[in-house]
Amino acid sequence: MMQRRSNAAELLPRAARLGRLKSALGAGVIRPGRLWEKRPLRRHYDVVIIGGGIHGLATAWYLAKDHGVRDIAVLESEYIGFGGSGRNTAIVRANQRTQENVPLYDEGLKLWPILTDELDFNLMFHNCGNLNLAHSEAAVAAFRLSVNTANFYGVRSELVDPQQCKELVPALDVSDRPAHPIQAGMYHPPGGVVRHDAVVWGLARGASLHGASIHQGVEVQGIDTEGGRVTGVRTSAGPIGCRKLGIMAGGYGPAIAAMLDIELPVNPLTIQAMVTQPLKPFLHHVVSSGAYHVYANQTLKGEIATGAHMDPQVNYTTDVTAGYFKHQAEALTDFMPCLKGVRFLRVWAGLADMTPDMAPILDGNFAHEGLYLDVGWGYFGFKSGPVAGKYMAEFMAREEAPEILEPFALRRFLENRYMGETATTMKYGQWD
Amino acid sequence: MTFRLTCPVCGKRDVYEFTYGGPERGPRPAEADPGSGLEAAVGSDPAVAAEAHFRWAQFRMNRPEPQEEWWHHGAGCGVWFSTWRDPATNREAPPGGAEAGGHEAGGRDSS
pLDDT score recorded for residue B102 = 39
pLDDT at A54: 98
Query: Does the pLDDT at position A12 exceed 70?
Result: no
CB A382 within 8 A of CB A88: yes
pLDDT over 50 at A18, yes or no: no
pLDDT digits (tens, 9 = 90+) for A94-110: 999 999 999 999 999 99
What value does the mean pLDDT take over residues A169-189?
Answer: 98
Assigned architecture for domain A41-94+96-121+196-265+357-413: 3-Layer(bba) Sandwich (3.50)
Q: What are the tens digits of pLDDT across the range A260-274?
A: 999 999 999 999 999
Task: Write down the number of H helices and E strands in chain B.
Answer: 2, 6
pLDDT surpassing 70 at residue A299: yes
Which one of A263, A269, A309, A314 would you mutate to disrupt binding with B, by most B Cβ within 10 Å of its Cβ? A314
ipTM: 0.86
Instruction: Examine the pLDDT at A163 and tell me if it is beyond 50.
Output: yes
- Span A236-258, mean pLDDT? 98
Give the pLDDT of residue A215.
98
Q: How much is the pLDDT for A41?
A: 97
Task: Answer whether A264 sits within 8 Å of B62, measured CB to CB.
Answer: yes
Q: What is the pLDDT of residue B43?
A: 58
Residues B45, B46, B49, CA angle at the centre, nearest 5°?
Answer: 90
Residue A65: band (very low, low, confident or very high) from pLDDT cuts 50, 70, 90: very high
pLDDT in the model for residue A420? 84
CB A290 within 8 A of CB A302: no
Q: In angstroms, rounded to a whole number, what is the distance separating the alpha carbons of residues B54 and B61?
A: 14
In the prediction, which pLDDT does A361 show? 98
Contact across the interface for B60 and A261, Cβ inside 8 Å? no
Closest partner CB to B64 (pick from A255, A413, A416): A255
Whether residue A20 has pLDDT greater than 80: no
CA A202 to chain centre: 15
Which pLDDT value is given to residue A26? 52
- Collapsing DSSP to helix, strand or coil, B86 comes out as strand
Q: Is the dihedral of CA A400, A405, A407, A412 positive or negative?
A: negative
CATH code of the domain occupying B4-104: 3.30.2270.10
- Cβ–Cβ < 8 Å for B43, B61: no
Q: Cα separation of A379 and A372, whole Å?
A: 21
Chain mean pLDDT for chain A: 92
> From edge to edge, which strands make up the β-sheet containing B80-86?
B19-23, B67-72, B80-86, B91-92
Residue B104 has pLDDT above 80, yes or no: no
* Model confidence pLDDT, tens digit, residues A300-316: 999 999 998 899 999 99
**Which among B60, B88, B110 has the least Cβ separation from residue A263?**
B60
* H-helix or E-strand spanning residue B92: strand B91-92
Taking the model in full, what pTM does it have? Answer: 0.89
Whole-number percent of chain A with pLDDT over 70: 90
d(CA A157, CA A191): 10
pLDDT of residue B38: 55
CB contact under 8 A, B90 and A413: no
CB-based contact A356:A418 (threshold 8 Å): yes
pLDDT band at residue A2, thresholds of 50, 70 and 90? very low
Q: What is the pLDDT of residue A30?
A: 53
Contact, A168 vs A54, CB < 8 A? no
pLDDT at A141: 94
pLDDT at res. B52: 84
pLDDT of residue A429: 55
- pLDDT tens, residue by residue, A112-121: 999 999 999 9
Does the pLDDT at position A14 exceed 70?
Answer: no
Contact A370, A243 (CB under 8 A): yes
| A399 within 8 A of A408, measured Cβ to Cβ | no
Cα(A160)–Cα(A143) distance, rounded to whole angstroms? 10
Per-residue pLDDT band at A425 (split at 50, 70, 90): low
pLDDT for the residue A58: 98
pLDDT tens figures, B12-66 = 999 999 999 999 998 887 776 555 555 555 556 667 777 888 899 899 999 999 9
Q: Which residues of B touch A (CB under 8 A)?
A: 1-2, 16, 19-23, 50-51, 54-55, 57-64, 67, 69-70, 72, 85, 87-90, 108, 110-111
- Nearest-by-Cβ selection for A321 from B1, B69, B72: B1
With cut-offs at 50, 70 and 90, classify the pLDDT of residue A3.
Answer: very low
pLDDT at A29: 53
The CATH architecture assigned to A130-189+267-354 reads 2-Layer Sandwich (3.30)
Return d(Cα B64, Cα A359) in angstroms, integer: 23
- The pLDDT of residue B103 is 39
A63-77, A384-398, A409-423 — which is least confidently predicted? A409-423
